[in-house]
Amino acid sequence: MVKWQRNLYAVCAAQLLTLIGFSSYLSFIPYYVQTLSGFTDSEAMNWTAGFQTAGMLAMMIAAPIWGGLADRFGRKIMLIRSTGAAMILVALMGIVTSPTQLLLLRVVQGIFCGTVSAAMTLVATGTPAKSLGRSLGMLQMTQFLANAVGPFLGGLAADALGYRAVFPGAAGLMVISTLTIVFLVSETREEPAVVTRARFRLSPALLTQMVGANALILIGSLTGTSFASSVLMPVIPMYIKSLAPDVERLATLSGSLTSVTAVAAAIAAVGIGWVGDRFGQKKTLLASMVGVALLAIPQAFVSTATQLMIWRGIHGVFMGGILPTANALLAGSTPADRRGSVLGLASGAQAGGNAIGPAVGAAVANAWGMRSSFYATSVVFGLLTLLVGAFVRVAPPPAEAAAPSPALAPAAEGEG
């Protein structure tokens, strides 16, 4: 097994455990907050939006900085840093006594714990260009699979043992993840480009020159995807509660519904990554975005939790195609020695979308009802489809490129 494949499998295994831990508690955060505060359903939904927004704003600021540091000092050390910090902060979340303490920990988590961005940067910089779509698809599948298993297990544990019991278990999984990265992942680094020293003094013109207009459009598309997806984050748990008001094991139901979406996305991610490599990443991305836009609408008309679960599962299939194809296009548009900074910038921008989305979702739900949030999601994905279709350009595959210059060789061949 070659090094890049071994790294891919080790990173995927570590991310699986880390994200199971992360996602195990997110589906019941509104209910956990109610036990800490006695908030009403509406207040808990608004507070959950603030919880998500605060963490994502912190990540939006921190992620580009960590990305630049990854290019200068190594991607492996950044992944160890983010996973180790996550382990400590998740454990502390299980002993808080007020929503304010939970919120503060969420902000610190946003600053130090961008494990997805760190893992994606490590994989993207070490994978040959011809295998990039499939590798990122595999990593995305791992993330979706974790988001499927985590909420289900977390919901079961919360209903059986109490909400607090979930957090130390999640931290234990992250201990294993950190050890996996330390002992099984290796990294061969090249000297960073001279431009690295200027990365923290970017003007809009310099940013466009360094990143490229194509990459900026893709970053905007990823930001819009994060925004539209997170609009529903504070709404879904309370929407489920309104559809099944008498259910006793509410955390299990909420976790199960989240898991169905993630399972469908996980199954789709690797297959769609292969389709993108074979038939074109842009075409695959556009088809996925259209599917998500259309499937958001019927979710507003369901009358039972079972109906919502079915539609969320179908929705997940198309959602599973967006992130791996968009990230493959982004990585392919970026020279290998700048991918840490560019993917860090993309992660920060997506965090910004994740920060704004919950606040918008809660505001829309309070103003026009929870069902209206699904319409907002559909509209955003429709606009993203037009943006990508009109402005994203696809570079020719490396085998078809005519005599690339030495300066362009790293972008075509990668570091693997």
Render 73-126 in DSSP notation, one character per residue.
H-HHHHHHHHHHHHHHHHHHHTT--SHHHHHHHHHHHHHH--HHHHHHHHHHHH
pLDDT interval class at 194 (50, 70, 90): very low
pLDDT above 90 (res 171): yes
Sorted by where each starts, the structural domains of the chain and their CATH numbers stand as 3-187+204-395 (1.20.1250.20)
For the segment 276-295, the average pLDDT, to the nearest whole number, is 86
Q: What is the mean pLDDT of the chain?
A: 81
Tens-digit pLDDT profile for residues 57-110: 888 788 778 877 877 888 899 999 999 999 999 999 999 999 999 999 999 998
Question: Which stretches of 231-249 are DSSP H helices?
Answer: 235-243
Q: How far apart are the first and last CA of the chain?
A: 13
Instruction: For 147-179, give the secondary structure using H, E and C.
Output: HHHHHHHHHHHHHHHCHHHHHHHHHHHHHHHHH
Q: Which residues contact 54 (CB under 8 A, 6 or more apart)?
A: 103, 106, 107, 110, 355
Q: Cα angle at 29 between 27 and 35, to 5 degrees? A: 135
pLDDT for 408 equals 32
Task: Give the C-alpha separation, 339 to 27, whole Å.
Answer: 32
Task: Give the C-alpha separation, 53 to 41, whole Å.
Answer: 18
250 CB neighbour count, 10 Å cutoff: 20
Which tokens belong to 55? Answer: 């963490």
Maximum separation of any 2 CA atoms in the chain, in Å: 67
Q: Do residues 328 and 124 make contact, with C-beta atoms less than 8 angstroms apart?
A: no
pLDDT interval class at 273 (50, 70, 90): low
Amino acid at 342: V
Q: What are the Cα distances from residue 83, in Å, to 18, 170, 177, 191, 405?
A: 7, 12, 7, 25, 38
For the segment 235-250, the average pLDDT, to the nearest whole number, is 82
Tens-digit pLDDT profile for residues 297-313: 999 999 998 899 899 98
Q: Do residues 394 and 277 make contact, with C-beta atoms less than 8 angstroms apart?
A: no
For the segment 17-35, the average pLDDT, to the nearest whole number, is 89
Q: What is the pTM of this model?
A: 0.66
Which tokens belong to 18? Answer: 């880390």
Weakest mean pLDDT among 124-128, 144-148, 192-196 = 192-196
